[in-house]
Structure 1
């Protein structure tokens, strides 16, 4: 029997069109939800039965937001409020645009006294300014997360933060170290090893809370608490793509980066010492 080429060609064309539509829908979904596609570079946090997936940019920013709270001695609740706010305002992205003159992670406005554009575009500065305003809210430790966030931001959409609270709680639990070993990242093409750059990042992020040193391609961190140790480990994993992180250990716990899958932590245990090996 001779093949029916017109029919085969038509079928292939239809399959190609359907595949294109599905791919387009997936890309639109990713853009709208601010979540990576399964094949994309990404990070994932898991805690208390919840899972949150982040792009690498979101993960880097989330760990910095967390580190600023921890070095100020603020509890995980402060991080939850900050992350719920950043989710709504920018998708946890450091945007150089926004409504009116709003910019940055929290869409803070120079005209409203938050600082200059250059200052607000610094995630450390913008996070610190957010926490400055947060702790002035009378009931921030006990009040409804959405309402406290609104008291800081004074948004035209006062209920908008509520839909992000569950994700923010998962991230806060993991990134502050309250849920050890709940964070992993995969980067298809990690950057070159830069132990010195990673050391500088950790020293800045956890200033006053850690002591760090570089030995060859390895960074060793001595934290002042187990929670800070895990937070430092998570920050290092989130920056795998920039500094070529290959392996992170917290005491007996070990995480080895995999370019294809989200590797799990093994040997979960306690400790204040973190060892981070960069690529050879």
Structure 2
């Protein structure tokens, strides 16, 4: 009598190998998504300036939008409280993303509706326009700076969930402290130059792109010194009044002065940190390599590292922000 054949094992082994391969593919796909969206070390983080154990982590896309919302508010001469309310509102409405969809015809960072008179679809999808519209309506709310964030936001938004904004107040305050310059050296980003551009906000790289983005978010800038041309040669560029930018090679220098507006009342150092944190938030989109101000420096690729102290002899000062772009 012949011996019985051994039980077939190959199909089961193949099934296990196939299942393991599927798992590996899923993990690889997850890592790719994390890389693209800015998570897993490629994103941004804000820490509390008072040493408290509070942090807020977000993607480069969200950081760009938060920086824009804040810059528009400070450019309007509004107090930090207005910026906090705007950031908390956008956190609830869009998670700080410039959405091209929403409930009914709601769009953009604040989910504003063209049918309700907030502007055209194209206008609302412009973060600077939508932020200005929000602030314009907020300024009409009596004593809005004295109201809880959720009440002030609701009086502007008329949401079906009037208390939903409240949960975002602590994080919105943390971001506002950084982007209005009240907290120094508290925002870091990986600044990876190959990060996918935020939806609707793809930007070119280089010093010209940095200056254009500064104008876009902060308003009119004065450009003195030399413009950078294609051959690297500079030509003088007189400009209107406002904040000054100077360009030398890959470096954009933004001298800072105190804000004379009584509502915002920013000091020169706070104004400098407004620009410095804005530049860090835009590092991936604009291919910014490092930012220095007030004896501190941030360098791309160090999202988990704090701003470093630079030697007194290095090219940095307390009266100008220096932004160095990639080659």
Q: TM-score, normalised by structure 2?
A: 0.74
Q: What is aligned with 1:164?
A: 168
User: Residue 19 of structure 1: CA displacement?
Assistant: 6.7
Moved more, 68-77 or 57-66: 68-77
Aligned to 2:212: 200
Give the match for residue 300 of structure 2: 257
1:158: Cα distance to partner? Answer: 0.7
8 Å Cα contact 1:175-1:234 kept in structure 2: yes
Q: Which residue of 1 aligns with 2:46?
A: 45
Structure-2 change in CA distance of 1:132 and 1:194 (3 Å): same
Q: Could you tell me how far 1:265 is from its partner in structure 2? A: 0.4
In 1, the alpha carbon distance for the partners of 2:137 and 2:32 equals 36
Q: 1:200: Cα distance to partner?
A: 1.6
Larger radius of gyration: 2
Q: Unpaired segments of 5 or more residues in structure 2?
A: 1-8, 196-203, 221-241, 258-267, 311-315
- Cα distance in 1, alignment partners of residues 157 and 303 from structure 2: 38
1:278 aligns to what?
Answer: 325
Partner in structure 2 of residue 212 of structure 1:
245
Residues 133-183 of structure 1, C-alpha deviation per residue, up to 9 Å, x if partnerless? 111111311111111111110000111111211111111111111110001
Alignment partner of 1:129 is 2:156: no
Higher helix share: 1
- Which of 242, 245, 256 aligns to 1:223? It is 256
TM-score of the aligned structures, taking structure 1 as reference length: 0.85
CA distance in 2, matches of 1:15, 1:166: 43
For residues 44-72 of structure 1, what are the alpha-carbon distances to aligned partners after superposition, in whole Å with 9 as ceiling and x for unaligned?
A: 11114311111111100000000001011
Indicate if the aligned counterparts of 1:198 and 1:219 stay in contact, CA closer than 8 A. Answer: yes
Deviates more, 1:267-276 or 1:180-189: 267-276
* Paired residues of 1:139 and 1:148 also in contact (CA < 8 A): no
Once residues 68 and 197 of structure 1 are traced to their aligned partners in structure 2, the CA distance between those partners, rounded to angstroms, is 18
CA contact (8 A) 1:190 1:240 kept: no
